[in-house]
Amino acid sequence: MRAARLIKMVLLLQSRPSMTASELARELEVSERTITRDAQALSEAGVPVYADRGRAGGYRLIGGYRTRLTGLARGEAEALFLSGVPGALREMGLDDVSSAARLKVSAALLPSLRDASDTAAQRFHLDAPGWYHEPETPELLPVIAEAVWGDLLLRTRYRREDTDVERQLAPYGLVLKAGVWYLCAAVEGTFRVYRIDRFVSAEPLQERFSREASFDLPAFWEERAAEFARSLLRAEVVVRLTREGARRLPHLTDRAAAHASIEAADPPDGDGRITVTLPVESEEVAYEQLLSLGPEGEILAPRTLRDRFAEAAEGLRKLYG
């Protein structure tokens, strides 16, 4: 336990110019007195930990000291090699850089752990695109990725319906969703999302932009993705469901909308069925999604959709006698 804490303390001090005793105590979840004892133990073991006294003081490593990655367990080493997504790195033009980094990490590992990259690769593979979809790498992705990593402003032309729109963007981050690449960027103080395959041109400028410290890419994407999903649900259908139909509904349509409609439903009727009002993209989409419920779901409204289901049921009755 203490050995692991000492290794983590050295790695923390390697990653920052200096840290106070209270900062180290908070990171390592121990008391400041324990930090003092650990620093003394590291110093006695030959690790050059130096303590600066005074109000602005703290602990730091001197002499450019670096530790080799000899404290990693096999599971930790394998997890390290899982942190990259080779296909995505290749599409962004970062495969050479990624390969060099992996080689350096491998060289720093103990000999017994140097096969960690191979064992991890044989146990996990990310295939981002959905089934029946052959993804194409957007031609401008490497250029845009370079601007993202360098915090460089982008001069772009973006295809919107039948026109091209010129924009100067501050490219904050890239998202790969189901095989499609998106750019999250700031334009005129507002954050927006752009499909990268719709960029007609993209030119990195020499001017850098200052990132907003509060911007959180995963949180921003999650919020926008939820907003987009909700914006598609412009119609409603009323469905009477058996217990099995209620169980299957979230797997057939928008999951959040299905769960919300089921939770808002009144108690089951005398036949054990519940009636839900379900937001859907359109009647056409609802027809395709809900037809697979079969007898586990009865469309009550709108009347036009109910009639379509009745026609489908009659057609099946004739087909199967």
Q: What is the pLDDT of residues 279-318, one digit of tens each?
A: 999 999 999 999 999 999 999 999 999 999 999 999 999 9
Across the range 3-22, mean pLDDT stands at 82
What does the alpha-carbon distance between residue 217 and residue 177 come to, in Å, rounded to a whole number? 13
Mean predicted lDDT score pLDDT of the chain = 85
What does the alpha-carbon distance between residue 140 and residue 203 come to, in Å, rounded to a whole number? 9
Q: What is the pLDDT of residues 238-256, one digit of tens each?
A: 999 999 999 999 999 988 8
pLDDT band at 125 (very low <50, low <70, confident <90, very high): low
- Residue 178's SS3 state is coil
Sheet of 235-241: strand order equals 274-280, 235-241, 297-301
Q: Name the nearest CA neighbour of 13 among 67, 57, 53.
A: 67
Q: What is the pLDDT of residues 101-121, one digit of tens each?
A: 666 666 666 666 667 666 666
**The pLDDT of residue 231:** 87
Contacts of 152 (CB under 8 A, 6+ apart): 146, 171, 204, 205, 206, 207, 208, 209
Say if strands 199-208 and 152-160 run parallel, antiparallel, or are unpaired: antiparallel
Token pair for 197 = 């395959």
Q: What percent of the chain has pLDDT over 90?
A: 48
- What dihedral angle (degrees, nearest 10) is formed by the CA atoms of 234, 236, 242, 243? 40
- Per the model's pLDDT, the better-predicted residue between 262 and 21 turns out to be 262
What does the alpha-carbon distance between residue 258 and residue 280 come to, in Å, rounded to a whole number? 9
**The pLDDT of residue 213:** 87
Per-residue CA distances from 131 to 76, 127, 228 (Å):
32, 10, 22
**Residue 188, exposed/middle/buried by CB under 10 A (0-12, 13-18, 19+)?**
exposed
**Residue 99, exposed/middle/buried by CB under 10 A (0-12, 13-18, 19+)?**
middle
E strands within the chain?
49-52, 58-61, 152-160, 163-177, 180-187, 190-195, 199-208, 235-241, 274-280, 297-301
**The pLDDT of residue 192:** 93
**The pLDDT of residue 100:** 62
Count other C-beta atoms under 10 Å from residue 184's C-beta.
20
Q: Name the nearest CA neighbour of 190 among 219, 160, 168.
A: 168
The b-or-e profile of 138-166 (16+ CB within 10 A means b, else e) is bebbebbbbbbeeebbbebebeeeeeeee
**The pLDDT of residue 85:** 64
Tokens 């005074």 map to which residue?
A: 54
